[in-house]
Structure 1
Amino acid sequence: MRRETVDGIRVVRIPIYAAANKAFFKRVLNYSSFWLSASMFGPFLTERPDVVVGTSPQFLTAVAALWLARLKRVPFVFEVRDLWPRSIVEVGAMKANSPAIRVLEKIERFLYRSADHIVPVTDSFVGEIAAHGVPVEKMSVITNGVDLDLFRPRPRDEARARLQLPAGTLVTYAGTHGMAHGLDLVLETAKRLANDAVSFLLVGEGAEKARLKERASAEKIGNVIFWDQQPRDRLAHVYAASDLCLVVLRDLPLFRTVIPSKIFEFMGAGRPILSTVDGESRGIIERSGAGVFSPPENRDALVQAIRDLARDPQRLAAMGSRGREFVERNYARPALAGRYLDVLGRVAHALPEPR
């Protein structure tokens, strides 16, 4: 058990079984241990709040939050950042008719019914949640945003030299290396561009990373660099060093409803985006003029898009500038935090004080 203060916020860290995002059963133990620890120690380690927020994924975090909210007799707000368990099924991690998925679906419906308010992070999630019988007026969309002070335009060459990254066109993917992302597409694209002075930097962790590194080594894909997960302040310099930032997901219907949070960081950094994510995310990128869309899981299209963009640095610079202007107007974190506080205030005052 450890207490600390982070940016003026009191944080209580509770004991859990720590596991990397790799082995399935270890992850289940990790999730379960937090649920048990938060449910057991939470009532004694926290004062009575105005509202309790539980975020998903994963569900057991939200279940613990609901338990604490009922014990403290305050409203429970359910924040939905991914559509579990549908996303688990669509990426092929589990079968739709498995007993575990049926249990998760029951937990999903229970949380939707029990929440005093629901905060999805995309507009598309509203329709998905409403299909479970949840009234639309019970939901308020608060999207992800960006820290514009941290993620800001910086000189590319200075960042490139600081990080000792190769010359030429640098294409960066930063995020989870998981089943949902289909990063084999990036390796195949890199092979095709091996003679084009294009390098790829893959930053992050995930269940697929070891296999991807083994494949790159076995196939001698020399223009791909793998870095471990980086601190956010260093990540800002990684973006600055990049000519083009990738947003990649597999071609699944569910992913048309998501907005990868990295797109806002890329825009904040003034870097152009090449995305294979259709739907709501594509709409944001195209409205902003901050990047271009390439069809998902289409290697030939991705190769051609990178070649075209690499030959046009002025176009890349213009997309980066438009992206920065767009997030300044629409996705600055303080403005989104203010909207969230308004929602929490309304929810907190909707219930009478306990006697």
Structure 2
Amino acid sequence: MNILFLTDNFPPEGNAPATRTYEHALRWVKAGHDVTVITCAPNFPEGKVYEGYSNSFYSVSKLDGIKVVRVKTYITANEGFLKRILDYMSFMVTGFIAGIFQKKTDVVVATSPQFFCACSGWALSAVRRKPFIFELRDIWPASITAVGAMKDSFIIKLLEKLELFLYHRADSIVSVTHSFKSELVKRGVDETKIEVVLNGVDLTKYQPVTCKDPEFVKQFNLEDKFIVGYVGTHGMAHGLENIVSVAESLKENDNIRFIFAGGGAARKKVVDLVNQKQLKNIILIDRQPKEMMPKLWSLCDLSLVPLVNNELFRTVIPSKIFECMGMGIPTIMSVPEGEATAIINETASGLVVESENVEEIKNAILKLYNDIDLYNEIRVSSTNSAQLFSRDLMASKMLSIFSKVLNK
């Protein structure tokens, strides 16, 4: 099978869309399929092209057997609605043009969160008369209004019409959550063409922690500390000011340290708050290359997974919970009750508290800090549960969806 995949995030970027696409594509190649990924110059989340890359019109390389085609786009930081729209639309155009020139294609796959990428995928499938599969990672543009980046308006309504057009035109929709599928069905999308393939974890890379990475421990002076980590994109949706408040409330406990590792639109806000409050128990770590993530995660005794208290985020499953399971790191989840909280509760891989509730997050940290038996129980449950979310299983399921569409 010749798979043409469009995504504006791909390694060396290390966010969830980039990781999911790469880890699936790697397994498809190993299964004997040809995979071409059309993407742009790596720049997420700072909006700066990574060292060693350029924002050129067209370049081709190979990554672990995956053909990677990079195209020129308008690049901006992950902030500001209009600039991001220009970014997305530029990739829609250049990605489409690049797709025209790929020699062999059996199926066209395009991924969100934003769906201008999916527009390009649909147009390519129409021109090349090949099936179009829409991988749905976010209910967009609803997520824009949910974080306050833009108010409901005529533009949002137009985007919603485009969104529904793509859902109806897709030959198959691969949703990353069951909640997204339910939402689409409520809005009149044919249930029979929606499949759910959850995010997962590469268990060859994310394995139970036996010791903390000594170089990171030494670099950040974390010897013999109980480390509570927020690792990943610092976005408007995460309400990270609440986590800073939690750290402030525990600043007198010298045995507990907090780390914020990553970058994004809300990173400056976090840095400014830490400096303003002069918090010495918070360590700020810059975004790390993807290959360093297991070492970075190894520092964490606990992982914090917050989202702001908005109804939309009941449908979201933060992908980092699966990496934490693979490494046996208990999760403290403070998100609106929904599919993600159900996973944590059912797998007993962490504690669930109320979204944006500083006191409850603090108490959950102290509970696991003080109760070593409970902490170890959750570690074991977390590790055992990781097998249910193996990336091998998820990649295989997507392949079966591609085959099903091709054989219609």
Counting aligned pairs with the same residue, the percent is 38
Aligned length: 347
Q: For 1:171, give the aligned amino acid.
A: V
CA contact (8 A) 1:48 1:72 kept: no
Deviating more after overlay: 51-60 vs 148-157? 148-157
Aligned partner of residue 92 in structure 1, secondary structure: coil
Task: Find out whether 1:117 has 2:172 as its counterpart.
Answer: yes
TM-score by length of 2: 0.82
Q: 1:239 aligns with which of 279, 286, 297?
A: 297
Q: 1:325 aligns with which of 381, 384, 389?
A: 384
Q: 1:20 aligns with which of 63, 72, 77?
A: 77
Alpha-carbon offset, residue 87 of structure 1: 1.1
CA contact (8 A) 2:305 2:331 kept: yes
Alpha-carbon offset, residue 165 of structure 1: 4.4
Provide the residue aligned with 2:115 in structure 1. Answer: 59
Compared with structure 1, are the counterparts of its residues 63 and 165 closer, same or farther at alpha carbon in structure 2 (3 Å cutoff)?
farther
| Structure 2 CA distance for aligned equivalents of residues 26 and 173 of structure 1 | 27
Structure 1, residues 86-113: CA drift from partner, whole Å, max 9, x if none?
Answer: 11111111112x1220121011111011
Task: Find out whether 1:179 has 2:230 as its counterpart.
Answer: no
Provide the residue aligned with 1:316 in structure 2. Answer: 375
Q: For 1:137, give the aligned amino acid.
A: T
Alpha-carbon offset, residue 223 of structure 1: 1.2
Provide the residue aligned with 2:202 in structure 1. Answer: 147
Compared with structure 1, are the counterparts of its residues 162 and 217 closer, same or farther at alpha carbon in structure 2 (3 Å cutoff)?
closer
Provide the residue aligned with 1:307 in structure 2. Answer: 366
CA contact (8 A) 1:54 1:61 kept: yes
| Structure 2 CA distance for aligned equivalents of residues 256 and 293 of structure 1 | 13
| Structure 2 CA distance for aligned equivalents of residues 131 and 312 of structure 1 | 44
CA contact (8 A) 1:163 1:238 kept: no
Provide the residue aligned with 1:69 in structure 2. Answer: 125
Alpha-carbon offset, residue 203 of structure 1: 1.2
| Structure 2 CA distance for aligned equivalents of residues 111 and 282 of structure 1 | 29
| Structure 2 CA distance for aligned equivalents of residues 318 and 163 of structure 1 | 30
TM-score by length of 1: 0.94
Segments of 5+ residues of structure 2 without an aligned counterpart are 1-57
Q: For 2:188, give the aligned amino acid.
A: G
Structure 1, residues 168-195: CA drift from partner, whole Å, max 9, x if none?
Answer: 2100111221111100110000000001
Provide the residue aligned with 2:94 in structure 1. Answer: 37
CA contact (8 A) 1:3 1:13 kept: yes
| Structure 2 CA distance for aligned equivalents of residues 165 and 112 of structure 1 | 50
| Structure 1 CA distance for aligned equivalents of residues 157 and 363 of structure 2 | 43
Compared with structure 1, are the counterparts of its residues 212 and 158 closer, same or farther at alpha carbon in structure 2 (3 Å cutoff)?
closer
Q: For 2:371, give the aligned amino acid.
A: D
Provide the residue aligned with 1:9 in structure 2. Answer: 66
CA contact (8 A) 2:80 2:149 kept: no
CA contact (8 A) 2:106 2:131 kept: yes
Alpha-carbon offset, residue 48 of structure 1: 3.4
CA contact (8 A) 1:271 1:317 kept: no
Provide the residue aligned with 2:268 in structure 1. Answer: 210
Alpha-carbon offset, residue 124 of structure 1: 0.9
- 1:194-205 equivalences under 5 Å are 194-196=251-253, 197-205=255-263
Provide the residue aligned with 2:184 in structure 1. Answer: 129
Q: 1:288 aligns with which of 315, 329, 347?
A: 347
Segments of 5+ residues of structure 1 without an aligned counterpart are 351-355
Aligned partner of residue 140 in structure 1, secondary structure: strand
Provide the residue aligned with 1:87 in structure 2. Answer: 143
Structure 1, residues 283-338: CA drift from partner, whole Å, max 9, x if none?
Answer: 1111111101011111111111111111123322321221111111x111111111
CA contact (8 A) 2:226 2:369 kept: yes
Alpha-carbon offset, residue 158 of structure 1: 4.5
Q: For 1:89, give the aligned amino acid.
A: T
| Structure 2 CA distance for aligned equivalents of residues 94 and 25 of structure 1 | 10
Aligned partner of residue 67 in structure 2, secondary structure: strand
Aligned partner of residue 62 in structure 2, secondary structure: strand
RMSD: 1.4
| Structure 1 CA distance for aligned equivalents of residues 370 and 352 of structure 2 | 17
Provide the residue aligned with 1:353 in structure 2. Answer: none
Aligned partner of residue 100 in structure 2, secondary structure: helix
Deviating more after overlay: 298-307 vs 165-174? 165-174
Task: Find out whether 1:47 has 2:106 as its counterpart.
Answer: no
Deviating more after overlay: 70-79 vs 11-20? 11-20
Alpha-carbon offset, residue 262 of structure 1: 0.4
Q: For 2:279, give the aligned amino acid.
A: I
Provide the residue aligned with 1:78 in structure 2. Answer: 134
Q: 1:258 aligns with which of 290, 297, 316?
A: 316
Alpha-carbon offset, residue 151 of structure 1: 0.8
| Structure 2 CA distance for aligned equivalents of residues 63 and 305 of structure 1 | 43
Q: 2:246 aligns with which of 179, 189, 203?
A: 189
Compared with structure 1, are the counterparts of its residues 267 and 229 closer, same or farther at alpha carbon in structure 2 (3 Å cutoff)?
same
Aligned partner of residue 180 in structure 1, secondary structure: helix
Structure 1, residues 221-257: CA drift from partner, whole Å, max 9, x if none?
Answer: 2211222221222111121111100111011111111
